[in-house]
Amino acid sequence: MTDMTLFEPYALGPLTLPNRIVMAPLTRNRAGSGLVPGELAAAYYAQRTSAGLLITEATQVSAQAQGYQDTPGLYTQAQIAGWRKVTDAVHAKGGRIFVQLWHVGRVSHVDLQPEGAAPVAPSAIRAATKTFVNNGFSTVSEPRALELDELPGIVNDFRQAAANAIAAGFDGVEIHGANGYLLEQFIKDGANQRSDAYGGSVENRARLLLEVAAAVAQEIGAERIGVRISPVSPANGISCSDPQPQYNYIAERLNALGIVYLHVVEGATGGPRDVAPFDFDALRTRFEGTYLANNGYDLDLATARLNMGKADLFAFGRAFIGNPDLVERLKTGAPLAQFNPATLYGGGAQGYTDYPTLAEAATE
């Protein structure tokens, strides 16, 4: 057994990360009704800059892509300018930041859709899940199935948002192919009953994700793209009858595209790692780029998995909420602060930018 630690530099494409600890994407619903991130978001991300890489909260590629109240977008000039404040603040502190791009598909509500339209999905199957809308949690709306001729527009929305990300100063983008949102709705047959080229076989169900990845790679370069997947997660009421062959194929095709990392939620997102049998090593074998592991990691598990050669980088989600200096705390063995669940979604600075570092806590 070798003796690697999380606290050594790692080359991620053109970037040098000072450590192997990544901040996982975390939706916090504070972009306001304009869906524009502001100074508060800039302060929040800047506080967490000691992560090897920051991945932002999920950010919609179009108005139709929104599924929760007050989540930011990246499809208007005002949103590009808002995100520029964030990237400037992070870069000023020597950090690196990718933006996570999403389309929520059926995980939305008519009150969040342009002109109160039905949310879109591969098939007209309502998700058994809730969304955060009108300052509370509500059942998602009944979706309508996307027409075949609408899919190029969705691919193009991702492409344009990636171009906007570069204009906003991001170091790269993460395509959200996980957690029951649109791209995963196409991948998993519990949500996809199409009979055209985007439904049925393993290849067909992977098609939209792969088209998006190829378009984004053409736009900004594969070395600036990660893709997040969650093969066995039931998040947002989704299911898949054949995750192993489905995701083995996806890993092979993403490898051929040369994207820089594959971000894998191992197990149920935020829940048990062993929710269903799945051979994650099969993805690692097929994808030669960086394997970014997530879900339920702590320092010991991450260090063990690193030394077993199972992953290169580790994304921590919940631990970053209450610990802006998570890297330093893990390095020194300091205790981790808990976050307040009441301030996760929405609100202002409270429970967002007011969690102290260890040093700040000591002087309070």
Q: Which residues contribute to the site for ligand FMN (CB under 6 A)?
A: 24-27, 57-58, 100, 176, 178-179, 228, 265, 269-270, 294-297, 316-319, 344
Q: Which is nearer to ligand FMN, 100 or 357 (CB)?
A: 100
Pairing of strands 136-139, 130-133: antiparallel
Q: Which residue is nearest to ligand FMN (CB)?
A: 317
Q: How far is the CB of 282 from ligand FMN (least distance, A)?
A: 20
- Please give the Cα distance from 262 to 265 (Å, whole number): 10
Q: Which is nearer to ligand FMN, 50 or 194 (CB)?
A: 50
Q: Which is nearer to ligand FMN, 51 or 58 (CB)?
A: 58
Question: In the chain, what is the straight-line distance between the N-terminal and C-terminal CA atoms, in Å?
Answer: 43
Read off the tokens for 285.
Answer: 């074998």
Q: How far is the CB of 310 from ligand FMN (least distance, A)?
A: 16
Q: What is the DSSP letter of 211?
A: H
- Please give the Cα distance from 68 to 248 (Å, whole number): 31
Q: How far is the CB of 269 from ligand FMN (least distance, A)?
A: 5
| 198 is an active site residue | no
- Please give the Cα distance from 50 to 59 (Å, whole number): 22
Strand partners, 314: 21, 293
Q: Which is nearer to ligand FMN, 190 or 317 (CB)?
A: 317
- Please give the Cα distance from 231 to 263 (Å, whole number): 11
Q: Which is nearer to ligand FMN, 25 or 226 (CB)?
A: 25
Q: How far is the CB of 148 from ligand FMN (least distance, A)?
A: 27
Helix, strand or coil for residue 138? strand
351: left (phi over 0), alpha (psi -120 to 50) or beta: left
**DSSP-derived secondary structure for 334-356:** PPPPPP-GGGSSS-SSTTTT-PP
Q: Which of 68, 181, 247, 355 is catalytic?
A: 181
Q: How far is the CB of 149 from ligand FMN (least distance, A)?
A: 29
What residues act catalytically? 181
